[in-house]
Amino acid sequence: MRRILITGATGQVGGALLSRLQTCGAVIAADRSIIDFTRPDGISLLLDGLRPDFIINAAAYTAVDKAEEEPDLAMLVNGKAPGAIARWAAQNAVPLIHFSTDYVFNGRGERPWREQDAPDPLSVYGTSKLAGEREVMAAAGRSLILRTSWVYAATGRNFLRTIAALARERAELRIVADQVGAPTSAASIADAVASMLDGMRNTATSLATTFKAAHGLVHLCASGEASWHQFAAAIVEGLRTRGVSLAVTRLIPIPTREFPSRARRPLNSRLDLTRLQKVFGIAMPHWHSALGPELDKLAHEFVHLKGCERSVLS
């Protein structure tokens, strides 16, 4: 049975992959207690002990604004550590999937970004993720980099849960409306990865051939597009439809300049999915349809919490 190592197993994408790939082999769930990404020099020895047959690196430093204050830490986790993993994987002929982000682009224009477009990150976070891409590429192993965007899930810390919480507390929310991308559920990413691996029946050699056909880099996100404001509106409407009581009555669209943050965000986070369809035959679900199952989980959680509150008060 193949040993599949998933790093960042407690994160959104890692958690979804852990659930989705359990039937594909012996899954090794690695969080920071097992592999410390702040110490890249020790990663090779750890991998020698774990001896995975396949690696999916979903671990990352994702605090975009905080990265502006911790550039060295962000570079260790997002740049140096993936490089260490990629070199070990190359030396041991182990296939590797590594996740990156739309934040490697500067967000100009309105055309969806293609894999061959020149990166030009605006933030420390984007710069560190680009460094990770380059480290993985330089290792010249059997690797595939998946750039995704606007990842969320019913669990963890993300835009979906933030809006859901604020909508229950405030009557008015001001949401950025001039940044456009594709909200992408962690579950849909995990489904796509599972489809790529074809139930892990593919050999390392056939995977390497496919990864090479994709030039080692593919964009992977939901289809369609939305602004953060449109995403927030869909969340609010979806929760109300599911019977969740909300305080919010107004969602006010605002430009990025009225929502100051330490890190600059790209205005255009659209990603072109042509290569994903051509090489892997994968058609990603529309962002709005993929949102439904996550809203179901969130609504169930809120109803359960409300029931618990009533039990305590009765």
Residues catalogued as catalytic: 125
Q: Give the distance from CA 293 to its chain's centroid.
A: 17
Summary count for the chain: helices (H), strands (E): 11, 12
Alpha-carbon distance 54 to 46, whole Å? 15
Q: How far is CA 31 from CA 18, 34, 62, 133, 253, in A?
A: 12, 6, 15, 21, 38
Alpha-carbon distance 115 to 217, whole Å? 7
Query: What length is written for the chain?
Result: 314
What single DSSP character describes residue 253?
A: E
Contact 122, 76 (CB under 8 A): no
Instruction: Write the DSSP assignment of 19-84 as a string of letters.
Output: HHTGGGSEEEEE-TTTS-TT-GGGHHHHHHHH--SEEEE------TTGGGT-HHHHHIIIIIHHHH
Which structure tokens are listed for 130? 């680009």
Q: Give the distance from CA 153 to its chain's centroid.
A: 10
